[in-house]
Structure 1
């Protein structure tokens, strides 16, 4: 696969077809495309508007959004506006699928205080994993008119991964992919493999983990990261500089790089043990890009954003992630350095023996079941337990939440400073407490954002009235 191409960190934007102030109107078309990657072999991807990743949608708080989605895929699909507070009928839920050759107009208004780093991707149950690993994902940035960091230049890096057969085709999931989540051998930034990127230390960098299941421990020798924002926008205040940044599936962050490093270094990802099943991995670091660093002075404000205090929660709920071992007769241990070696893709998109393997509160997802009813604009506290042996990133639709505390190995700790998120990772046997409220009525999903686990039923649904 070609590598080492220059990348400027600026994503092509989706054009606004409206001339009316405060209205963003556009069209997104999902369709197969073919790209010649290497050795004169064509690879078929599925893409929004022919772009990998899809075009960036950039809007402001208060804007009305009207996007027509056209589905030219061979499968039903939806567009889920990941992390955004949108009406139920506009959230791209799996019960609202757009059939092949069908269309749907998504309409919503972005509330004040919603500035942040979001993304859009499909959410059809049983098909979400395949549609994302074939290329369907794009970025959605909501800006604020009073942004205290608006003076900083920005770069936007979407991290994805890709697996290819020798003939250039994208293979189906293997049994191990369904168990552990799919990881491709090529890690891409903005669709490029190991690109060359010029970075100044006064730039605001937005990062998206758009992979199905890969965890990143990002580091650059001689450079520290200052996190200034998470999924739901700016933090209360900049965090302390760190050498390494953990970015789990579907997470996003805004960072500033600091350090005395000048010249060429590598953006790397250290090995992360997320306790995969039936795999004995050899720890291996990855090189994601070559970075040309130029040191520039930057002064960050001590305060970035004010957060109101939460009312006492009206409801306290317990959410439990668990696994049920499948019948793996004739399933030998796979002992190899990378999990995708020499395993045979299943003919069935979801192997029947694996249905019901991943559970929430002891149940697998049922489109006809509502797990509970919540009240509009009422503060809820969820205590989320990971009772399984592997990591699971938890995602909640329709709102942003605040992580109150983590408990792991008998120790309780709080995040540094206040932040709004829509994804939080849970280590094996970890407990996380979150608080939030929902701003729209209707059906809301909550699930593991390892997309294969979501497909296999590690998802629930509740109703807001």
Structure 2
């Protein structure tokens, strides 16, 4: 923003013959702007008086402001993203120091379509190193935003990658610096991604909502609170992961959505919490579960509730089956993910997340018919697997190791298909996330799963196991795998898979 000040008029201070004509031109412009437009010498150009006549309506999709595409070239999405310290209101009537993307918590939505080339011009205006991890996106190693590629304070980095066919779905972005991920996400750095399918089997006439769920803790002054070093709360957070008692859906506490009786809406849900696992239910309503981490299922499934672990996403159809004028509540039902000795006293209480209010309009006469088949998902054949890797998760460790940036824990060949056997040897849930490559869960505790789907995070409850199959396509590099309870990740519950 250009500011008019005395320095502006210094251009007109003692003039030589060489710049006299320029000075006359500048003076003429200044006089015209003051007399004709009414500007004072200390007024901001771009302030409200000017912007009122030049407002550009902000694009909003699924309830979120969208990163502006700076490119006019078809098939190219080029945006700018800045991480910075800000002071904004998270709780009503209180301002809070946060870390934010483009001044917002959550950050603005990144929207792209399969086949697009995406360029994100990122700037780090934070006082510490950071990265941007494009959670779940299949992309080159150097663009993954892992701890191997930190962006220092004041520096910039251009993330660029192509969106592969079959990627359409709901994703999210967040920082991934070594030992500081939980802190930076807790301070407000996270945002949503929607990848579109040009041949989406669901019509764009459906109302769409992107719900980014998070939680946080605040002190008496309204500032984000982290446990004091050496305190009992720190021990609890180190074990359970840091949970907050204030729950957000997007940037609001208990927001309200509207639906018409007889209407069907498409909800995309992201669990951006550092540790909380959500058990979602809408009182008196069933969901049609249509997708997960890697996009749509082959076939929709009717469910009464959804369990969404850290980093996971879900796509649902919500059907307006109640009467006009009624309202219902989306709740986070009790879910015991904890070590018994650190289980919170109120773990068995439900939490309200948002209100769904029915309009007073008469019910729609024609209701939406959900397609029986949404898409085909190619099966990764277990007979093609050349190796089975066993990952034993304990408190803060995988295979009895903590993270070492200088060590490679697993090595695989580019193009290989492998099975990973994830075993949880302790009494609390651990959601396991693999960077770079989506996978298909084969079985849980030896029982075959019924729904083929693409995932990048799989929750493994205490003393249970899950096996998935993965193929390392396209991109060599050093890829992280870790528990997605962010405090556990920061403590070193993470390893490195090198694909070459």
CA–CA distance in 2 between the matches of 1:71 and 1:185?
30
Alignment correspondent of 1:419: 453
CA–CA distance in 2 between the matches of 1:450 and 1:252?
15
- Displacement of 1:9 in angstroms is 4.9
Alignment correspondent of 1:213: 275
Q: 2:219 pairs with 165, 182, 196, which one?
A: 165
Alignment correspondent of 2:404: 366
TM-score, normalised to structure 1, is: 0.87
- Displacement of 1:261 in angstroms is 2.1
Structure 1 stretches of 4+ moved >4 Å: 37-40
5+ residue gaps, structure 1:
1-6, 324-357
Q: 1:32 pairs with 85, 94, 106, which one?
A: 85
Given that 1:58 and 1:140 are in contact with CA atoms closer than 8 Å, whether structure 2 keeps it comes out as yes
CA–CA distance in 2 between the matches of 1:39 and 1:385?
43
5+ residue gaps, structure 2:
1-59, 228-233
Alignment correspondent of 2:438: 400
- Displacement of 1:310 in angstroms is 2.0
Given that 1:399 and 1:436 are in contact with CA atoms closer than 8 Å, whether structure 2 keeps it comes out as yes
Q: Relative contact order: is structure 1 or structure 2 higher (C-alpha 8 Å, sep ≥ 6)?
A: 1
Given that 1:197 and 1:291 are in contact with CA atoms closer than 8 Å, whether structure 2 keeps it comes out as yes
Task: Rate the CA distance shift 1:284–1:74 in 2: closer, same or farther, 3 A.
Answer: same
Given that 1:53 and 1:137 are in contact with CA atoms closer than 8 Å, whether structure 2 keeps it comes out as yes
- Displacement of 1:280 in angstroms is 4.7
- Displacement of 1:300 in angstroms is 1.0
Larger Rg belongs to: 2
Given that 2:217 and 2:226 are in contact with CA atoms closer than 8 Å, whether structure 1 keeps it comes out as no
Map 1:155-234 → 2, pairs under 5 A: 155-173=209-227, 174-200=234-260, 201-234=263-296
Residue deviations 1:94-150 (CA, integer Å, cap 9, x gap) = 021011111111111111111111110000011100100111001111111111013
Alignment correspondent of 1:298: 368
Map 1:220-299 → 2, pairs under 5 A: 220-239=282-301, 241-258=302-319, 260-262=321-323, 263-276=326-339, 277-282=341-346, 283-293=348-358, 297-299=367-369
Q: Are positions 1:454 and 2:489 aligned together?
A: yes
CA–CA distance in 1 between the matches of 2:235 and 2:85?
25
Alignment correspondent of 2:45: none
Alignment correspondent of 1:341: none
Q: Of Structure 1 and Structure 2, which has the larger fraction of its residues in helix?
A: 2
In structure 2, the residue corresponding to 1:157 is in which secondary structure? Answer: strand
In structure 1, the residue corresponding to 2:489 is in which secondary structure? Answer: helix
Given that 1:160 and 1:191 are in contact with CA atoms closer than 8 Å, whether structure 2 keeps it comes out as no
Residues matched between the structures, number: 420
- Displacement of 1:153 in angstroms is 2.8
Given that 2:145 and 2:175 are in contact with CA atoms closer than 8 Å, whether structure 1 keeps it comes out as yes
Given that 2:294 and 2:456 are in contact with CA atoms closer than 8 Å, whether structure 1 keeps it comes out as yes
The CA RMSD over aligned residues, in Å, is 1.7
Given that 1:222 and 1:259 are in contact with CA atoms closer than 8 Å, whether structure 2 keeps it comes out as no
- Displacement of 1:293 in angstroms is 3.8
Q: 2:392 pairs with 320, 326, 334, which one?
A: 320
Task: Rate the CA distance shift 1:234–1:416 in 2: closer, same or farther, 3 A.
Answer: same
CA–CA distance in 1 between the matches of 2:93 and 2:267?
34
In structure 2, the residue corresponding to 1:218 is in which secondary structure? Answer: strand
Given that 1:9 and 1:197 are in contact with CA atoms closer than 8 Å, whether structure 2 keeps it comes out as no
CA–CA distance in 2 between the matches of 1:36 and 1:60?
33
- Displacement of 1:221 in angstroms is 1.3
In structure 2, the residue corresponding to 1:238 is in which secondary structure? Answer: strand
In structure 2, the residue corresponding to 1:130 is in which secondary structure? Answer: helix
Residue deviations 1:201-238 (CA, integer Å, cap 9, x gap) = 41111001110001111111111011101110110110
- Displacement of 1:319 in angstroms is 0.9
CA–CA distance in 1 between the matches of 2:79 and 2:184?
21
TM-score, normalised to structure 2, is: 0.81
CA–CA distance in 1 between the matches of 2:89 and 2:315?
33
In structure 1, the residue corresponding to 2:406 is in which secondary structure? Answer: coil
Alignment correspondent of 1:431: 465
Task: Rate the CA distance shift 1:299–1:138 in 2: closer, same or farther, 3 A.
Answer: same
Given that 2:380 and 2:440 are in contact with CA atoms closer than 8 Å, whether structure 1 keeps it comes out as no
- Displacement of 1:38 in angstroms is 5.7
Task: Rate the CA distance shift 1:175–1:417 in 2: closer, same or farther, 3 A.
Answer: same
Task: Rate the CA distance shift 1:49–1:38 in 2: closer, same or farther, 3 A.
Answer: closer
